[in-house]
Structure 1
Amino acid sequence: MEDLLELNYGYLFEEELINEIKALGAIKHVEAGDRLIDFGDHIKFMPLLLKGAIKISRQDDNGDEILLYFIEKGDTCAMTMTCCLGQKKSEIRATAETEVELIMIPVEKMNEWVVTYKTWRNFVFESYNSRLTEMLEAIDSLAFLNMPERVEKYLRDKVMIVKDTELNVTHQEIAYDLNSSRVVISRILKKLEKEGKIELLRNKIKVLDF
């Protein structure tokens, strides 16, 4: 844990803060596909990601789910921070996109560290800024891209996140993430395959042109 913590956060935080994280943090290992946080959960710990990637999604009033953004090693989730600081129930679902290792920080330390450590305060503000930018990109995608363009962007983003052109994702999973239907997604994927941009495998998609 200490090696990953130093590698991903040592350049961001002063030694005193790193030592506090080591002393207070609890290491957690999560397999790909497992949920870390669900809608309505009471959040008692804030995650710092050491390894892997996590998918953050949100649910509307009709129960439909849509992808907001991904977080990677060296990141944390701004939405989780918001729930922690406001002592509210979770408004997001966090799912391990890949095998994940993270360190869980007690939420009561968040306010204390904002006052005590300038580097932590900067980290919190930068996390909010980065996630806001990504959510604006998600809104732009909904507003300005048609569904085939959204599918292509989704696949490109996935390749960047998992660092592999062969994606373990089903048509139904893409439909959930993009708030569409499996029939529509399957039709688009078959068209992309005919265009030579992807290859459809069993429960996998190989991206050939990204």
Structure 2
Amino acid sequence: MIDNIRENFTHIFEEALILEINEVGVLKEVVEGEKLIEIGDYVRSMPLLISGAIKILREDDNGDELLLYFLERGDTCAMTLTCCLGQKKSEIRAIAELDTTLIMIPIQKMEEWTGKYKSWRNFVFQSYQKRLTEMLETIDSIAFLNMDERLVKYLQNKQKVTNDSVINSTHQEIAYELNTSRVVVSRLLKKLESLGKIELYRNSIQIVSL
């Protein structure tokens, strides 16, 4: 595990912290689609991503989901950090977007390392800032973009995160994550296909030019 930590975090953490992460961290592998955190769970550890991607979702009172942001290699989740520090139940759902490898850090170490290591403190603050920016972008998208623009942005983000021009999602799954209806998503995808932007297949979308 030490090699994975050094490969991903040497440019962020000093060697002493890397050795501590190796000592207390637990390597965890999850497959695409597996749920890591459920709304209402108590969070006992925080993730450091070694590879793969995780999507973070919120749920409204009607049970409808909204995609907040993606976590990628070298990231951690600010929402998880907040729950850990406040010992509160999780307000988000975390699902593996790809097969993902993580190192789980016990919450007891978070406060200790914040005072002990400047690099860890900077990492936590930068994570908060990055996640806040991404959530503001989500809010702006809902408030200011038309649904067709939101859909294009969603597909672009998926392509970036997965590094693949094929999006393996159904129209219903996309509708859930954009908090809209399948009918609307299907209509807009058909429009993008007619413009030559994408090609539609059963349960997948080939991005041609977005």
TM range (shorter): over 0.9
Structure 1: runs of 5+ lacking an equivalent: none
Structure 1 stretches (4+) deviating beyond 3 angstroms? Answer: none
Equivalent position of 2:75 in the other structure: 75
Report the residue type matching 1:60 in the other structure. D
Structure 2: runs of 5+ lacking an equivalent: none
The answer as to 2:165 corresponding to 1:165 is yes
State the Cα distance separating 1:62 from its structure 2 match: 2.4
Whole-angstrom CA distance in 1 between matches of 2:87 and 2:202: 43
Whole-angstrom CA distance in 1 between matches of 2:125 and 2:116: 15
State the Cα distance separating 1:206 from its structure 2 match: 0.4
Equivalent position of 2:131 in the other structure: 131
Report the residue type matching 1:92 in the other structure. I
Equivalent position of 1:96 in the other structure: 96
Equivalent position of 2:201 in the other structure: 201
SS of the equivalent of 2:84 reads helix
Contact 2:2–2:19 (CA under 8 A) maintained in structure 1: no
Aligned CA RMSD, in angstroms, stands at 0.7
Whole-angstrom CA distance in 2 between matches of 1:91 and 1:70: 16
Equivalent position of 1:147 in the other structure: 147
Whole-angstrom CA distance in 1 between matches of 2:60 and 2:203: 27
Equivalent position of 2:10 in the other structure: 10
State the Cα distance separating 1:202 from its structure 2 match: 1.3
Equivalent position of 1:108 in the other structure: 108
Equivalent position of 1:183 in the other structure: 183
Whole-angstrom CA distance in 2 between matches of 1:2 and 1:121: 21
Q: Percent identical across equivalent pairs?
A: 62
Report the residue type matching 2:91 in the other structure. E
Equivalent position of 2:65 in the other structure: 65
Whole-angstrom CA distance in 1 between matches of 2:143 and 2:68: 14
Contact 2:2–2:18 (CA under 8 A) maintained in structure 1: no
Number of residue pairs aligned between Structure 1 and Structure 2 = 210
